[in-house]
Chains A and B, each alone.
Chain A
Amino acid sequence: MVALDALDRRLIDAFQRDLPLCERPYAAMAEQLGVSEAAVLARLNRLDAEGVLSRVGPVFDHARAGASLLAAVAVPDAERDAAAAVINASPGVNHNYAREPQAREPQAREDLVREQRYNLWFVMTAADESQLTARLDALEAELGRPLLRLPMLEAFHIDLGFPIPWAELEGA
Chain B
Amino acid sequence: MSVSTCPSEPRAAGALDALDRAIVLATQSGLPLVPDPWGAVGRSLGLDGDEVRSRMARMQEAGIIRRVAAVPNHYRLGYLANGMTVWNVDDAEVLRLGCEVARLPGVSHCYRRPRHLPDWPYNLFVMLHGRTRAEVERQAERLRERLGDACRDHRILYSSRILKKTGLRLAGRVDRQGGQR
Contacts and interface: CB of A to CB of B under 8 A. Distances in A.
Interface of A: 1-2, 11-12, 15-19, 21, 23-27, 37, 41, 44-45, 47-48, 50-66, 70, 84, 87-88, 91-105, 108, 111-112, 114-115, 118, 120-122, 125-127, 148-162, 164, 168-169, 172
B30 A55 contact: yes
Category for how many chain B residues contact A: 35 or more
Contacts of B174: none
A169 B72 CA distance: 14
Contacts, number: 285
A21 B56 contact: yes
Contact of A156 (B7, B66, B106, B129): B7
B157 A100 contact: yes
A11 B71 CA distance: 11
Contacts of B106: 162
Interface of B: 1, 3, 5-8, 11, 13-14, 16, 24, 27-31, 33-38, 49-50, 53, 56-57, 59-60, 62-73, 76-79, 84, 95, 98-99, 101-103, 105-114, 116, 119-120, 125, 129, 131-132, 153-171, 181
A61 B66 contact: yes
A54 B71 contact: yes
B166 A94 contact: yes
Given A59-B66, A155-B111, A23 B11 contact: no
Given A26-B35, A94-B167, A152-B111, A160 B67 contact: yes
Given A96-B163, A97-B159, A155-B8, A21 B68 contact: yes
A51 B109 contact: no
A16 B5 contact: no
B171 A91 contact: yes
A11 B70 contact: yes
B111 A156 contact: yes
A95 B71 contact: no
B90 to A, nearest CB: 15
A62 B4 CA distance: 16
Contacts of A95: 164-166
A20 B170 CA distance: 25
